[in-house]
Amino acid sequence: MRILLQFPEGLKQEALKHAEKLEAEGHEVFISASPTFGACDLAIDEAKNIGAEKIVHFGHAEFHKVDFNVEYVPYYIDADLRILDRSEEPLRQYKRVGLVTTIQHMHQLGKVEEFLRSKGKEVVIGKPFGFAKERGQILGCDAGSAATIDRDVDAFVYFGGGMFHPLGALLMTTKPFLVIEPFAGTVEFIDRYREIYRKRSRGRIQASVDARRFGILASTKNGQDNMPMARILKSRIEAAGMTAAILVSNTFNFESLDNMLEFDAFVNTACPRIAIDDPDRTRRPLLSANELNEVLRIKDDLKAGN
């Protein structure tokens, strides 16, 4: 069988080992050298171009169904659970806690839950929602397992590496949010980021009030393609008497966007984290769909006031 292997950046150093193993089994193996941002970013076009019969995608669980043969190989990491002892004092005042993690630590979720219960906590683990497949699992773009239990808990606990995933969940919830990061060895509440991101959002909205020409980012990635939304937003902008164009790319290059000098602002319909994490990488405001709607509302109010 002709197979294309795909790895996220953190696992690319293991690509040759897996390729050699599959070749020893009689397969013809290719390795994708392109960056990948998750199972929303499968190398389907590359696989078709080389005539591959299957993609083996490492590091992530299935995101959604695609019209191609894809084998998902999640990457599990055994983090040191001794750091959990340091969460007892920060959580002392909270009785019911919501527990979330990523696919890399899903196999340790039960142990974390057991620890919290041993300290007298009632632990709530949300059911999978949206693109997530496991209870308590969050993705960078899908924190439904946290948002759906927000009203039922006093605080949240995230166990896992990095800040990318918990920041996404933080912005979809309202309760205190404790991050237990076993690799950096930190245990801290990250609630302060809610106001930081709210201020940044307000700044982008205010900077776009005078915009007249909007570029709408539309991705061609398998799990980020939202062309219907891009068309709806284009219609709304034009109905308000302004100009809009849909900009299509597989991976957006911010330097290239900056070369599109005719646009006063950009609107994101691709990966939702672009408008959250990357807005400062363009010279002009980069809005989410919700932020655009707020801009249009303000413009309407100003027009009515005149």
Q: Do domains 2-73 and 198-305 have the same CATH topology?
A: yes
CB 172 within 8 A of CB 151: no
For residue range 158-198, list pLDDT tens digits in order.
999 999 999 999 999 999 999 999 999 999 999 999 999 99
Domains of the chain: which residue ranges?
2-73, 81-190, 198-305
State the Cα–Cα distance between residues 147 and 286, nearest whole angstrom: 25
* pLDDT at res. 123: 97
CATH number of 81-190: 3.40.50.11850
The topology under which CATH files domain 2-73 is Rossmann fold (3.40.50)
For residue range 23-70, list pLDDT tens digits in order.
999 999 999 999 988 899 999 999 999 999 999 999 998 888 899 999
130 closest CA partner among 209, 223, 205? 223
For residue range 97-118, list pLDDT tens digits in order.
999 999 999 999 999 999 999 9
CB 30 within 8 A of CB 14: no
* pLDDT at res. 306: 62
If you ran DSSP here, which 8-state letter would residue 137 be given?
Answer: B
Look up tokens 């709408």; give the residue.
216
For residue range 217-267, list pLDDT tens digits in order.
999 999 899 999 999 999 999 999 999 999 999 999 999 999 999 999 999
State the Cα–Cα distance between residues 68 and 55, nearest whole angstrom: 8
Whether 284 shows a pLDDT value over 80: the answer reads yes
Residue type, 258: D
The topology under which CATH files domain 198-305 is Rossmann fold (3.40.50)
Q: List phi, psi (to 5°) of 241.
A: 85, 20
- Beta bridge mates, 80: none
195 closest CA partner among 168, 171, 164? 171
State the Cα–Cα distance between residues 158 and 267, nearest whole angstrom: 30
Give 236's contacts (C-beta < 8 A, 6+ positions apart): 292, 293, 296
* pLDDT at res. 140: 87
